[in-house]
Amino acid sequence: MSDMVKDIEKLKREQNAVILAHTYQPGEVQDIADFVGDSYGLSVQATETEADVIVFAGVRFMAETAAILSPQKRVVMPVEDAGCPMAEMITPDELKEFKGRYPDYLVLCYVNSTAEIKAMSDICCTSSNALKIAKQIPADRGIIFIPDKHLGGWIQEQTNHTMALWEGFCPTHELIQPEMVKRVKQEHPTAKVLMHPEAPGESRKLADEILSTGGMCRFVKNDSDMEYIIATEIGIIHTLQRQNPEKSFYIVDDSITCPNMRRGSLEAVYKALDGTGGITVTVPKDIADKAVNALGKMLEMSK
């Protein structure tokens, strides 16, 4: 155990802190975390932890979600300006105008969004529970899905809901193209292709399974196959290899990296705990009070 890891453990005990890390974070951050998971799993952990301080190793919308769900706790983000380009692809004014075009539609909001957008939405979802939640919405009720057109398109394909999709997307998953998948499949013909629903539709057609990052981890653990092509951000390879050392994993392409997630580090976590770095994330009460309704419905509908 390195000196920095020991110091982090000491600071955690002194502050009654917990470290939550997304599966896209670098391996060294995942290894020091108390919980590693996808957006849904991390949201649940934020509500259940008895810690006084949550160190959230991820991007801003994740830390905001934790702050909304656990307002009595201090939420600290190690890399203060780690954002999400998708979350920034829709503004409150744009959503207001979009809702005006579909006044009777329910707004289903991907958790990869700002607190202000969540506050204007009816229900939130993550990639792991989006389909389950959509299936609980009456079939004759139109859905505005924001901000990811690819996840929304996948839901539409699976449910036949009438949906209005905002034209947002994840720049990292947008890079996953059919030729990449075909190339790796030729190299590893017996490997199953596991793909995130944020990938474009033409690429999704080549997948054996469409899964969230948490869904990928659960699937691989329970599946009898031994080889997998992973079509999502490369950070999850560390998680999968650690959980399944006997199995083989092939990233669809080395370019599938999230610049904001890649900025996470052990040093950043340490500084967030010792007070020399990071930022405490807060959400204005008027926004949090509205956003918590949509997040609360997500948690309730995911049970």
pLDDT higher than 90, residue 60: yes
Q: What are phi and psi of 216, to 5 degrees?
A: -60, -45
- For 99-117, the pLDDT digits (tens) are 999 999 999 999 999 999 9
- For 11-42, the pLDDT digits (tens) are 999 999 999 999 999 999 999 999 999 999 99
pLDDT grade, residue 1 (50/70/90)? low
**Using N-to-C axis directions, what is the helix angle for 60-69 and 39-48, rounded to 10°?**
30
> What is the Cα–Cα distance from 118 to 126, expressed in whole angstroms?
12
The structural domains of the chain, ordered by start, are 3-82+261-282 (3.40.50.10800), 87-169+287-301 (3.40.50.10800), 173-257 (3.40.50.10800)
pLDDT of residue 298: 97
